[in-house]
């Protein structure tokens, strides 16, 4: 019997506290995909039945989060990156991942997937926030501030390096497209809590470039990255199928 596909998820969010991160993990496990998760330690007690025998391996960093002063955010980003980088490299050498899913913040966290990508894993960056806009709003910075220039440069490098992007709204997608990102490399999936595992074939509103923004498609409840076609052997290339489900998207389903 072939071993199950394995996906690496990297998130500077606490598990299982963070609802969207928990949704991603649950959806993959429900489809029989093994998951290695690098994340922050949460305050909630892990769900032991879900962890036991399901193919989930969790690697946690204990880091106290503080909102002030502002530079604390940068220190936390750098500390988590410094921990996740060698950990992801070591895991990627021991395991051949089908895909790596990284969420921001920060955008540069996606580069912990470098070794996995060299081994032909598909790299997906899930962008909960657009960092330049968030930085400007939180700190009240003008458009020409050096911090925003750095944030825009990091976003540009990260979004061009990743194989596919997931954003939370059509507006975020349009902003990235205006910055030169190929619309065909972006999918829109709202932040939602985990789906009830009893649901199947729920209707997901996935906005496709050039398509009907009110249209929908029936997709399975997970993220699967299919590498098929004549160019599938080339790292970072080939068709990608994003198969996700969201409970909010099931509203109005027949």
For the chain, give every domain's residue range.
Answer: 6-199
So what's the pLDDT on residue 238? 27
So what's the pLDDT on residue 178? 94
Report for 11-25, 98-112, 124-138: range of highest mean pLDDT? 98-112
| Percent of the chain residues past pLDDT 90, beyond the cut | 40
User: How many C-beta atoms lie closer than 10 Å to residue 232's C-beta?
Assistant: 13
2 or 105: which leads in pLDDT: 105
φ/ψ of residue 234, rounded to 5 = -90, 120
In 3-state terms, what secondary structure has residue 7?
strand
Report for 25-34, 82-91, 135-144: range of highest mean pLDDT? 82-91
d(C-alpha 99, C-alpha 173), whole Å: 22
**The pTM is what?**
0.74
Averaged over 217-228, what is the pLDDT? 34
pLDDT band at 6 (very low <50, low <70, confident <90, very high): very high
- Find out whether 126 and 104 touch, Cβ atoms under 8 Å: yes
> Is pLDDT of 117 > 60?
yes
So what's the pLDDT on residue 27? 85
> What letters, b where the CB count within 10 A reaches 16 and e where it falls short, cover 213-228?
eeeeeebbbbbbbebe
Note the CATH number of domain 6-199: 3.40.50.2000
C-alpha of 169 from chain center: 14
Q: Which residues, other chains included, contact 241 with Cβ-Cβ below 8 Å and sequence gap of 6+? A: 224, 225, 226
61 or 252: which leads in pLDDT: 61
Nearest to 16 by CA among 58, 73, 55: 58
pLDDT band at 45 (very low <50, low <70, confident <90, very high): low
């Amino acid at each position: 019997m072939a071993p199950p596909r394995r996906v690496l998820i990297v998130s500077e969010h606490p598990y299982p506290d963070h609802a969207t991160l928990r949704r991603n993990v649950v959806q993959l496990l429900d489809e029989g995909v093994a998951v290695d998760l690098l994340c922050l330690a949460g305050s909630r007690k892990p769900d032991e039945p879900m962890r036991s025998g399901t193919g989930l391996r969790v690697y946690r960093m204990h880091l106290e989060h503080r909102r002030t002063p502002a530079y604390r955010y940068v220190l936390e980003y750098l500390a988590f990156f410094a921990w996740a980088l060698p950990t992801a490299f070591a895991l990627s050498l021991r395991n051949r991942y089908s895909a790596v899913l990284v969420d921001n913040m920060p955008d540069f966290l996606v580069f912990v997937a470098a070794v996995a990508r060299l081994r032909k894993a598909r790299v997906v960056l899930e962008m909960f926030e657009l960092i330049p806009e968030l930085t400007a709003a939180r700190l009240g910075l003008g458009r020409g501030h050096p911090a925003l220039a750095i944030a825009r440069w990091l976003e540009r490098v990260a979004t061009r390096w990743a194989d596919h992007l997931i954003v939370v709204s059509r507006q975020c997608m349009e902003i990235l497209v205006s910055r030169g990102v190929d619309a065909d490399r972006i999918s829109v999936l709202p932040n939602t809590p985990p789906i009830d595992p009893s649901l199947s074939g729920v209707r997901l509103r996935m906005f496709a470039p050039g398509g009907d923004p009110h249209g929908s498609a029936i997709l399975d409840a997970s993220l699967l990255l299919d590498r098929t076609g004549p160019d599938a052997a080339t790292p970072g290339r080939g068709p990608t199928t994003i198969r996700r489900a969201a409970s909010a998207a099931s509203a109005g389903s027949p």
